[in-house]
């Protein structure tokens, strides 16, 4: 007696099931700003500023910021930070939150990531950020 393959066990009349929708598949409804909003994936977080739910099309190499290596860059990406513009917009409260989450007390201020991000953004995009 011949054993049926898995494909033969599936009824030809069955319709394939649809994949489940996850929160990442849903449109963003929180406030968005600038070119980040155009990407359709950025959200404004009270404690982290502008963050992405997934990597945007245009990302910056955060390792160009003094004090950010591969590990920190990966951690920042994990928090939804991918661009110089995002870091350039950080205020003291956001810096304090990231300092805590990254476990590097005062590193962001000591290495002045915000000013570096502004300069790197200007050099790459020829656009000054406030």
- pLDDT score recorded for residue 97: 95
- pLDDT score recorded for residue 2: 52
Q: Give the number of other Cβ atoms within 10 Å of residue 42's Cβ.
A: 27
**Could you give the percent of the chain with pLDDT greater than 90?**
62
Mean residue pLDDT of the chain comes to 78
DSSP 99-116: HHHHT-TTHHHHTTHHHH
- pLDDT score recorded for residue 130: 84
User: Which pLDDT tens digit goes with each residue over 65-124?
Assistant: 999 999 999 999 999 999 999 999 999 999 999 999 999 888 999 999 999 999 999 999
Q: What average pLDDT does the segment 37-64 reach?
A: 86
């Amino acid at each position: 007696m011949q054993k049926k393959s898995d494909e033969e066990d599936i009824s030809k009349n069955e319709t394939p099931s649809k994949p489940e929708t996850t929160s990442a598949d849903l449109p963003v409804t929180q406030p968005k700003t600038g070119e980040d909003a155009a990407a359709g994936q950025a959200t404004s977080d009270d404690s982290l500023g502008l963050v992405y739910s997934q990597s945007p099309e245009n990302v910056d190499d955060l390792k160009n910021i003094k004090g950010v290596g591969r590990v920190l860059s990966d951690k920042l990406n994990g928090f939804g930070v991918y661009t110089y513009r995002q870091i350039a917009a950080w205020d003291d409260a956001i810096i304090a939150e990231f300092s805590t989450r990254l476990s590097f007390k005062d590193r962001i201020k000591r290495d002045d990531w915000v000013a570096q991000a502004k300069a790197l953004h200007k050099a790459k995009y020829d656009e000054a950020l406030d």
